[in-house]
Amino acid sequence: MFPASRSRRLRRTEGLRRLARETTLSPKDLVLPVFVVEGANRREAVAALPGVERMSCDLLAARAAALKVGALLIFGVPEAGDKDADGRVAADPEGLVPRAVRAVKQAAPHLPVITDVCLCAWTRHGHCGLLDGAGAVANDPTLKALGAMAAAHAAAGADVVAPSAMMDGQVAAVRGALDQAGFAETAVLAYAAKFASVFYGPFRDAAHSAPQSGDRQAYQLDPANGRAALRDALLDEAEGADWLMVKPALPCLDILARLREATRLPLMAYQVSGEYAMLKRAAQAGAFAERPAVLEAVTAIKRAGADAVITYYAEEVARWIET
């Protein structure tokens, strides 16, 4: 008890604080999400995400060669004319994402590549799965499409595929498709606890993936439900997931901490586009200094239980913690 016990002793200097620090960040803990588009030497600013660009495969490969982060997460942004009702082009072995994977792997062979497996950007309607005759997302027919998409990415060299459609049984379907195609070593990152969040808004602008009608609340998690999130995550683990993800990150630190206690699988958390945009805009408005605010936010995500953090700040954070 005070005065014999004084917690401030270990906070007195930066050296003492560093020695007693429980949570640390490393570049290997960071995953950079990127948006790839058709063409060559093409880059497009994303208005809703200051500092983020869509870029063609050649520019992405050049960027990857210089990256000092743990992994890359690739999202394809197809041309409007390449979209159809069923997202068939998403499973094309010579499609946009497979070409991007091959280009990155050639430029940066040792950089792990993760690919998003979902139909939202590849369909005209913008939903994450196939639609039935009534316009509702049809769970079971979507599973085969997700499996084919994952196999195409694995054939191109993806190290990890990440089914994000929030269809029941999607992890088992993707795992089965990979194994059947001869890619038993390709890992599956499950978007296990993915909430129907308003914080995804800027991403939908970046990926041109907003639903043309309705919303995604019928298949993404209700933000009010914590037990349901844990149930979904543990079902994904039982279906063969190698990693589990919580998304969004900061609004769901409680879910992340509870899931950390419930599983021994490695966990990722996605600091999503809305979180990035809030930090960026607030810093630009002078509300706080950007660097310490971002480092505090990313450290909090790790402290809650994440083994890796997906963030649009990955390059900056890697640079900041190395200097």
Catalytic residues: 194, 247
Collapsed DSSP state (helix, strand, coil) of residue 284: helix
Which residues, 6 or more positions from 198, have their beta carbon under 8 angstroms from its beta carbon?
274
User: 152 and 124 in contact (C-beta within 8 Å)?
Assistant: no
Q: Which of 132, 195, 199, 128 is nearest to 167 (CA)?
A: 128
In Å, the largest CA–CA distance within the chain is 73
- What would the two tokens of residue 186 be? 């390709």
Residues 314, 205: Cα–Cα separation, whole Å: 20
Q: Would residue 39 be called left, alpha or beta, if left means φ above 0 and alpha means ψ between -120 and 50 degrees?
A: left
